[in-house]
Each structure stands twice: as C-alpha cells, then as structure tokens.
Chains A and B, each alone.
Chain A
Amino acid sequence: MASELTLTVNGAKQVVSAAPETPLIFVLRNELKLSGPRLGCGMAQCGSCSVLLDGEETRTCITPVSYAVGKQVTTIEGLPAVWAVEKKLSAANAAKTLHPVQQAWIDEQVPQCGYCQSGMMIAAVELLAKNPNPTIPQIKDAFTNKPPSPHLCRCGTYAAIIDAVQRAAKAMKA
C-alpha cells in the first residue's frame, strides 16, 4: 500500500506517495521525473541506475525507496550543485559550472549511446571523493571489483572513462 514518504533529492525535500518497497529508481523516474538514473538489469548487475546515497554509490533498481528516507539522494542532475557547495561558488558561477566529472565526460567525449554513463559518472564521483588521485589500475579496480557488480558499458567506452576520471581528478585539485 502506498504511503507518504519524504525524500531529500538533489538538495530538495520531496514528498512522494509510494509503496515503501518500491525500488527507488521508479520513484526517481516516474514521480520526480529525473531521467539520469536509468533502468538496466534490474538486479544490481550493471550500474546504470546508480545514485549517491549520502555519498555512497547505490543501485536504485534493488534499493527500496524507504531506505532512502533520511539520506541525501544525488543524481547526475544534482552534481553541479554538489560541486558549487563544495567550492562555495557564487550563484552566478554555479549556474554555469558543471561538476568536474561531468565536464570531463564532455571534454573526453565519453558517451556513445550514453545509457550507462549516468551510473559511470556517479561511480567516478564516489571514487574521487575517496581517492582524489587514482591510478589507472585503481580506476579499473573501482569500476570492476567494487560490489555489487562491475559497471558495464556495452559500447566499450572504458578507455574514455579512464581518461575522463583522470581529467576530473586534475580539475578537482586545481
């Protein structure tokens, strides 16, 4: 049965009506109209639905919406604001500044079809928060061996992702 739940998504409080066991992805997409997280495998095997929950990369296809109550939910739509707060950017500057990970994804022209890339960027933001200067083996390790599964890209953009993560790491230190 549906109940009213209060979520904090990209910094804003949102009251949604949903059965508590509803996977978070359907609430984000259908109720809050966020198209960043996308449904892939539905069983935490690919990473295309990832968001940050209190900074931790989380697969929303298997995470009940009730689990997100009381936590900060961040999708790619909210990444510029995260960066603006971190760097204390003025409102005018914030409006024209993307998160360095997003900017690096554009500069390196990472997305091909782009379907998996929201999850890839979320994983990159989490990695760079924990390790601001990752080596190539560390990037490969993070995108492959961190539970619950590797982040999969069928277009094969892994090399561009590695370049973009390293570019973002540089930009974030600047």
Chain B
Amino acid sequence: MTLKTETSSDSQIMPFTTTLTRRSFVKMGGALFVSLALPAGVRAQTAESQASLQTNQLNPTLLASWLEIRSDNTILMRTGRTETGTGMSGYYTQVIAEELSVRPETISLIMGDTDKTPDGGYSAGFLSGMANVRKVAAYTHQALLGLAATQLGVPVENLNVVDGLISGGGKSIRYGQLLEGQHLDLKIPVTGEFAKAAPGKWVGVDGLDGLTVMGDPPMRPLNQCKVMGTSFPVPGIPNKVTGKTQWSCDVTLPGMLHARMIRPATLGSTLISVGAVDKKQFPTAEIVKKGNLVAVVSPNEWEAISASRAVAAGTKWTDWAGLAGSENVTKTLRAYKWNTPSERRGKPADVTAALAKATKKISASYEQPYVRHAPIGPFVAVADVRSDGSVTVWTHSAQSQGLRARIAYMLGTTPEQVVVRWLDHSGQYGRTTFGGDGAESDAVILSQLTRKPVRVQWTLQEDMMWSSVSPAWVSDIQAGLDPSGHVTALHSLFYSPHMMDPRPIGALLAGMPCSASEPGGWIATEWVYDKIQDRLEDVYGMPNLGAETASGGLRGNIMRTPGQRQQNFALEGLINEAAAAANADPIQFRLDHTTDERLINILKATAKAAGWEPRSSPHSQARKTGSTPVNGRGVCVMLRENAYWVGIAEITVVPDTGVIHVSRFTIGGEPGKIINPRQFGLCMKSGVVMGLSEALKEEVTFDKSRVTSTNWDRYKILTMEEMPEIKIVPLSRNDKNFGGGSEGANAVCPPAVTAAFFDATGIQARRIPLSPAYVTTLLKG
C-alpha cells in the first residue's frame, strides 16, 4: 500500500511528497512511524551497515522515527532539541496535539539524545523547532485521514477529527484502530545536514540548525486552534517538584570516578609541576594530567574534593598578568585598532548626507562590562570512553548534535563514535547554544585517560572563572534631528570582543584539537522606526581578551537575547535622549516615528496598564542630590523574532546613597499567537527579574590575571526582595504567525531603567549596572 500526499512549496518547483508504506503485519498492537526522507548528500545507514553497529547503537543517521502513533492511541515525539526551562516541551506537545487533533496528555517526548532523536537543531531556536514539529504532525494527520478514508469508505473532505476520533458519514474510528495489526512507515521530506566540525568558520561547527521539514502540509488556521492558546502544563514540572527527575548530575555508572579539576592559577598560566596526593589520607585518589589539564579522581566524591584541594595547594603554575583589569575594559576596547566592520547594514552615503542636513545632532556612547550566564548549578558532565573508541556523554547542553561534533573533533574520531545523552539541569541562558562550553570535554579526556567512566563536577568558583562570558562592549551612536525634533538619520557603531567562542576549556587546556570559531560580531537589532529613513549600523569584533593564552582568555559567548540586549540598549537609549532633546513624551515620540501597527498597539496597551501620563523627561521635580528618594519613570521597546516588547520602569533613587529601587515594572509582549498564556506570563515576569539584575547589579570583575567575581557575594544577582511589582500585558493575535516569546523580556529592562534614572535625576546613565557606587559618581558629576 502506498499513499502519496502531494504538497506544494513556494520556493521549489518540485512538489514535496510523503510516502506511507506498510513495514509489516504484527500480531499485537500496531504503530505508525514517521521518519525522514533524507536529502541528497546526507547518507542514511542501510539495514546491513546498521547491523554492524548494533552493539553500541552509535549510528547518527539511524532513522529513529520522529513521531510514533501507537495502536493504544499514545504518541511519542522524538526531537533533538531540549527543554531549556522556558517551557518548550509544553509548546511542542501543544503544537503536535493541535495538528493531530488529539489531547496533549496522550503525547510524550524524548529530547536531545543523539542516538534516539533524528533531527538536531538549536534548543534555543524554538520557532524553527516548532515549525518542524508542526509540519511533522500535519503530514501525519493527512496520512491518517487518508487511511481512515479508505477504511471507512468516506472521502477525506467529509472526515472530522476530535481527540483522535475520526468521524464522517455516520461512521467513526480512532487513530489507534487504524493502525491495529500493522507497522506503517511515513516518510516526510526534509533538508539540511547533521552537525559537523567546521574549523575557522563561524562558530566552528556547521549544521547546528539540524534538519528542516520541507513543503507546506495543510495546517490548522491559528484562529481555529483548540490546544494552542491554552495553558497546558509543562510536562516535566511534577517530577521536578517531587524529586523524580533524573538530572545530569544524577548519572552514576558502574566503576564511575568522581573528578574535581585543578585549574590554572590565572587565565594564562601554564603548568610547572603538579602537587602530590597523600595516599595515607586519600587512599583512592589519583592525579590525572594532560597538558595543562589537571584533575583528581576518586570513586568517592568527597575524597576527590578533599584530595584535589590538597593537590591544588602544591601545584605550581607560571605567572601571567596579561589583562588590563575590568575597571579598564572600556579603555582597552577604545585602544583597539578596529579594522573593518564584521557586519554593516544601511546606506553610508545617505546617512552621511542626512546627518549633514540635520538641524541638530545628538551623539552618545553606551557601554557595559562583562556579564555572565551564572546558572545556580555549575557545569557537570559524565563521560564513558570505551576501549573500542566509542564514547557516551551525559550532558545538559542545549546543543546535543553540536556538542557531539565538537567531542568527535577533539578526539579525532567521527561523530558516529559519539553518543550524547541529554538530561535536565540548571538553565544555561545561551552558553551551551553552540554546543561547546561545559564540563563534557573534561569528562571525556579524563575517561579516556583512566579508562573508566568519569563524572566531572565544576565548583561555583570554577564556573565563574572558566566558563564563557558575555563580553563587554561600547557603542557610539549618533542621530540627526530636523527642526521639529524628528529623527531623520541614525548611525550606530558597536564594538565588542568575540561573542561566539564556545570552545570547551578542557580541550583547550589539554592541548587537544578545538574547532575554532571566527571572531566577530553581528547586527542584532530589528527595526521598528520606519519613519526614520536613513540608518547605518556597523558592528565590529575583536579576539577575546587574553586570546593568545592556552586557555583562550575570556572566551566570549552569546547570552540570553544575544546582541540585541546590548545593541537595543544603545538604540533605545538614544531614542530616549532624542525625545528629551525634542521636549517630547518618550512614548508619543516613538509613536511619531513608526507606522508599525503592532508596535503602536502594544505600546499603547502597556502605557495604559502602567498608568502612563504623557510628559517629557526629566520630571519637573528631578534632582541629583538629597537623602530622600526621587521618582522617575522610563520606557523602551524592542522587536525580536516577530515579537514586540515594551518595558516601562518606575524607580526611586536616593541621590546621596546612589541606591535605586525599582518599584514597578510593566512589560508588554505581543509575539503573534501566544501558544501558552500562563507560561508566556511566567516567562515575562522571570525575564524582568533577569533583566533588572543586569541593569542594576551584574558585572564580571577581573584583575590583570584572573576573574575575581567568583561567587555570589562578588557576582551579585537580583534577590526576591529586590524584585518589583511586575505587571504583564500579553497580547495574542492570530494573523501574525508565532514569535519568540520565551526570551526577550530581559532585554527591555536596562533601557527602561536608565530612562527612568534620567527622568528622576536629569542625568543620563549610559552604562550599566547602575550600582550605588556608579550612580553616586554619576550624580556628583
């Protein structure tokens, strides 16, 4: 039996087809397996070559089905993407349920295991992941309708499905009944490639997007959704609450050793000699070393910890003092001889002409020090490198396929030899998006050397010194205004060290191959001010600070709402300055510079919720001295991944102490169709907490040799008491598809808070964090 569903595509002449075939008859049960029709050039394993690999199941192209529908009406989805904490597992479930017309409770997910999931792709890339999953479910729905039409003798167009029950012409049948007694295969068209090392290119690994489903199967119109748009609970939460979740830190294997790493004394130190283990005190502890990678292992975790402290005390490293110190980071960036921009957008001649014609020009420089992802749980990983060269790694990385490619490259082997298994753990907020940074390379190297499974648990201090960071940046930005105060032209220049260096520190220190990325930056802003006609953006990149060292120095990496967090801060800061220069209300000023109806709607709705009264900044009562609080309010907007955001901060400042208290934050978000209203609201609120933390508190400090902000007393993040009242304004609409709703909220905090600071004091704050020390300095002028 073969059933073809022809679909059209807007980009290709050839129609994409799915094929439905019967694999076998079975005595009990039955199922439909949905798998991939691999694109030309991507080699799937044949049954014969699979057989040779069945002992270790390491075949990357083994066609694990994407979706399985069983005769008992349960559904299993396998995706290489993972839950990053913001609710993706719930959204994927809802999307599948919607397109298949089943209850979401009947669906379970397998996520992130490279030997069990077929597609790869970014865990953070929810929109592309969802588009895939949605099409897979939609193709499957069509195939099932075709089967039902045959079975019931009713034309497809007369069939209707509710909760997995297909009805039409007075007859009905469940999905599961259709499959009873047989195994069917549905192949759906995909394109793309599997992740593989690409040294020197971009982030050093290609294929991180994973596979993409082709074609346009008929899908449920967004205004007819029954499951999307409801607050379906996120599947993993009950187990997290009751202690049943298996986290990556919980993995134990027979014969496993616990390891603690002994890191270099400074970011640039190399090893002179390793201290000794006192075998009387630590009978089971052993030192393991490769290059500058040093560790102590023991079957007992506490013995590994205690012995590693003793060994570290006796380990000698070379001196190194190649950094200028975090207090001089802006100076360092200013002194760098920037070459040509990594990216440029806009028309230079038009912007130059428009700026020359402007009646007034405003220019300002914005900046931010290094900040970091700072999860509550430091990196942890378990690796088992076996004598036949096969490797299994247990991880919480957000890029299983990318990590696999990097581990294979490090070992000089093929990805087929490496299996990555994903488990829940602490949030990563972007640092594992490219599949590098983490404890996995440490664990693999130690397992290879000891010939035993090894679990590597980083300490907080180690995590805060050796994981990658979101680099410091400066931005020079200039606007030209016409006589009415309208912005006619805008030129921004953004300078930053490398923002995409996810090389694993273990491999670097051990001197093993690392697939290097290409230093540079990228333009991350999306433009909402269509009435500003001329705009030019230049983004410059440079190598990491300390890049010449064996460790790679301060390895820059992306962090939540990457690039846009920083560049939008500068842009919105300047828009607020231009509004003040024009003596205009900052919300009205924005409305005057756009015709974008979506921005206008969410901006007005958020302003209304905040009780915003139109006036210009600063406030008539603004002052920069005194021991009593002074109030201010500020606004900013952002467009990111088809989602519109508005932030309105209300703050008090005590000028004499420099202490800022955010009393209320109103956040508006319109991401097209909201898939899960409750989870969207939770993400808005939690994003505000992270964003205010960055606006008020966060800064990675370092001296000439090492990072010094290595615990929670030195790298402070927002506490519960510091959280303001948070008001959310979610807007859902059915006519603009889906937008990125899980992250973005954090990025609207800093520009709104600095605008509120100006409103309260009349002083522009063009740097974050607004720590009491910095605020006091600013106000003293």
Scan B153-187; emit 1 where CB is below 8 A from any A CB, else 0.
Answer: 00000000000000000000000000000000000
Q: Which of B125-133, B648-656, B678-686 contacts A (4 or more CB under 8 A)?
A: B678-686
User: Are B243 and A26 closer than 8 Å at their CB atoms?
Assistant: no
Q: Which residues of A contact B (CB under 8 A)?
A: 18-19, 22-23, 26, 29-30, 34-36, 38-43, 45-46, 48, 75-77, 80, 98, 102, 105-106, 109-118, 121, 139-141, 143-145, 149-162
Closest 5 CB pairs of A and B: A156-B689, A156-B686, A113-B85, A113-B427, A144-B721
The distance in angstroms between the C-alpha atoms of A118 and B242, with both chains bound, is 9
- With a cutoff of 8 Å between Cβ atoms, the chain B residues found around residue A144 in the complex are 719-722
* Cβ distance B297 to chain A, nearest Cβ, rounded Å: 15
Scan B235-247; emit 1 where CB is below 8 A from any A CB, else 0.
Answer: 0111011110111
The distance in angstroms between the C-alpha atoms of A6 and B25, with both chains bound, is 57
User: Are A40 and B460 closer than 8 Å at their CB atoms?
Assistant: yes
User: Are B237 and A48 closer than 8 Å at their CB atoms?
Assistant: no
The B interface, classified by DSSP as helix, strand, loop or mixed, is: loop
16 pairs across A/B with beta carbons < 8 Å? A23-B302, A40-B377, A41-B460, A43-B460, A45-B711, A76-B243, A106-B241, A111-B85, A112-B86, A114-B85, A116-B376, A152-B717, A153-B376, A155-B427, A156-B685, A158-B689
* Cβ distance A75 to chain B, nearest Cβ, rounded Å: 7
Is the CB of B257 closer than 8 A to any CB of chain A?
no
If A34-B243, A151-B720 are given as contacts, then 9 extra A-B residue pairs at C-beta distance below 8 Å, sorted by A number, are A26-B301, A29-B250, A140-B723, A154-B426, A156-B689, A157-B682, A157-B689, A158-B723, A159-B723
* Cβ distance B478 to chain A, nearest Cβ, rounded Å: 34
- With a cutoff of 8 Å between Cβ atoms, the chain B residues found around residue A106 in the complex are 233, 237-238, 241
From the candidates A48, A77, A110, A154, name the one contacting B243 in the complex (CB within 8 A). Answer: A77
The distance in angstroms between the C-alpha atoms of A156 and B249, with both chains bound, is 22
Given A113-B426, A154-B427, verify A38-B377 contact (CB < 8 Å): yes
Report which residue of A26, A35, A39 has the largest number of chain B beta carbons within 10 angstroms of its beta carbon: A39
The distance in angstroms between the C-alpha atoms of A48 and B380, with both chains bound, is 15
User: Are B376 and A40 closer than 8 Å at their CB atoms?
Assistant: yes
Scan B298-328; emit 1 where CB is below 8 A from any A CB, else 0.
Answer: 0011110000000000000000000000000
The distance in angstroms between the C-alpha atoms of A141 and B722, with both chains bound, is 10
Given A112-B85, A113-B426, A115-B377, verify A149-B679 contact (CB < 8 Å): no
Interface residues of B in 67-108 (CB under 8 A from A): 84-87
From the candidates A43, A110, A112, name the one contacting B427 in the complex (CB within 8 A). Answer: A112
Q: Which residue of B lies closest to A150 (CB)?
A: B719
- With a cutoff of 8 Å between Cβ atoms, the chain A residues found around residue B717 in the complex are 152, 154
User: Are A145 and B721 closer than 8 Å at their CB atoms?
Assistant: yes
User: Are B242 and A77 closer than 8 Å at their CB atoms?
Assistant: yes
Q: Which residue of B lies closest to A111 (CB)?
A: B240
User: Are A109 and B689 closer than 8 Å at their CB atoms?
Assistant: no
User: Are B718 and A156 closer than 8 Å at their CB atoms?
Assistant: yes
Given A112-B427, A143-B720, verify A43-B711 contact (CB < 8 Å): yes
- With a cutoff of 8 Å between Cβ atoms, the chain B residues found around residue A39 in the complex are 249, 377-378, 457
- With a cutoff of 8 Å between Cβ atoms, the chain A residues found around residue B237 in the complex are 105-106, 109-111, 114
* Cβ distance B326 to chain A, nearest Cβ, rounded Å: 21
Q: Which residue of A lies closest to B283 (CB)?
A: A1
* Cβ distance B306 to chain A, nearest Cβ, rounded Å: 8
User: Are B377 and A26 closer than 8 Å at their CB atoms?
Assistant: no
Scan B707-721; emit 1 where CB is below 8 A from any A CB, else 0.
Answer: 000011100011111
Interface residues of B in 192-245 (CB under 8 A from A): 233-234, 236-238, 240-243, 245
* Cβ distance A56 to chain B, nearest Cβ, rounded Å: 20
Scan B420-445; emit 1 where CB is below 8 A from any A CB, else 0.
Answer: 00001111010000000000000000
Is the CB of B772 closer than 8 A to any CB of chain A?
no
User: Are A113 and B425 closer than 8 Å at their CB atoms?
Assistant: yes
User: Are B685 and A159 closer than 8 Å at their CB atoms?
Assistant: yes
Is the CB of B265 closer than 8 A to any CB of chain A?
no
Q: Which residues of B contact A (CB under 8 A)?
A: 84-87, 233-234, 236-238, 240-243, 245-247, 249-250, 252, 300-303, 374-378, 424-427, 429, 457, 459-460, 678-679, 682-683, 685-690, 693, 711-713, 717-723, 726
The distance in angstroms between the C-alpha atoms of A145 and B713, with both chains bound, is 14
The distance in angstroms between the C-alpha atoms of A98 and B682, with both chains bound, is 23
Report which residue of B427, B679, B685 has the largest number of chain A beta carbons within 10 angstroms of its beta carbon: B427
User: Are A113 and B721 closer than 8 Å at their CB atoms?
Assistant: no
The distance in angstroms between the C-alpha atoms of A18 and B303, with both chains bound, is 10
- With a cutoff of 8 Å between Cβ atoms, the chain A residues found around residue B690 in the complex are 154-156
User: Are B689 and A45 closer than 8 Å at their CB atoms?
Assistant: no
The distance in angstroms between the C-alpha atoms of A75 and B722, with both chains bound, is 28
- With a cutoff of 8 Å between Cβ atoms, the chain B residues found around residue A115 in the complex are 247, 375-377, 425-427
Q: Which residue of A lies closest to B676 (CB)?
A: A109
The distance in angstroms between the C-alpha atoms of A94 and B712, with both chains bound, is 39
From the candidates B236, B243, B426, name the one contacting A75 in the complex (CB within 8 A). Answer: B243
The distance in angstroms between the C-alpha atoms of A41 and B424, with both chains bound, is 18
The distance in angstroms between the C-alpha atoms of A137 and B659, with both chains bound, is 19
- With a cutoff of 8 Å between Cβ atoms, the chain B residues found around residue A98 in the complex are 241-242
Report which residue of A18, A144, A158 has the largest number of chain B beta carbons within 10 angstroms of its beta carbon: A158
- With a cutoff of 8 Å between Cβ atoms, the chain A residues found around residue B718 in the complex are 156
Given A38-B249, A113-B85, A115-B376, verify A160-B712 contact (CB < 8 Å): no
* Cβ distance A76 to chain B, nearest Cβ, rounded Å: 5
* Cβ distance A71 to chain B, nearest Cβ, rounded Å: 20
From the candidates A29, A77, A114, name the one contacting B240 in the complex (CB within 8 A). Answer: A114
User: Are B241 and A154 closer than 8 Å at their CB atoms?
Assistant: no
* Cβ distance A3 to chain B, nearest Cβ, rounded Å: 13
Report which residue of A102, A159, A161 has the largest number of chain B beta carbons within 10 angstroms of its beta carbon: A159
Q: Which residue of B lies closest to A61 (CB)?
A: B460
* Cβ distance B283 to chain A, nearest Cβ, rounded Å: 10
User: Are A156 and B301 closer than 8 Å at their CB atoms?
Assistant: no
User: Are A102 and B249 closer than 8 Å at their CB atoms?
Assistant: no
User: Are A109 and B682 closer than 8 Å at their CB atoms?
Assistant: yes
- With a cutoff of 8 Å between Cβ atoms, the chain A residues found around residue B429 in the complex are 154
User: Are A150 and B720 closer than 8 Å at their CB atoms?
Assistant: yes
- With a cutoff of 8 Å between Cβ atoms, the chain A residues found around residue B242 in the complex are 76-77, 80, 98, 102
- With a cutoff of 8 Å between Cβ atoms, the chain B residues found around residue A145 in the complex are 721
Given A41-B712, A113-B85, A159-B686, verify A18-B460 contact (CB < 8 Å): no
Q: Which residue of B lies closest to A40 (CB)?
A: B376
- With a cutoff of 8 Å between Cβ atoms, the chain B residues found around residue A161 in the complex are 720
* Cβ distance B237 to chain A, nearest Cβ, rounded Å: 5
From the candidates B241, B301, B302, name the one contacting A76 in the complex (CB within 8 A). Answer: B241
- With a cutoff of 8 Å between Cβ atoms, the chain A residues found around residue B245 in the complex are 35, 114
Q: Which residue of A lies closest to B721 (CB)?
A: A144
The distance in angstroms between the C-alpha atoms of A109 and B459, with both chains bound, is 29
* Cβ distance A50 to chain B, nearest Cβ, rounded Å: 12
- With a cutoff of 8 Å between Cβ atoms, the chain A residues found around residue B726 in the complex are 159
The distance in angstroms between the C-alpha atoms of A109 and B87, with both chains bound, is 10
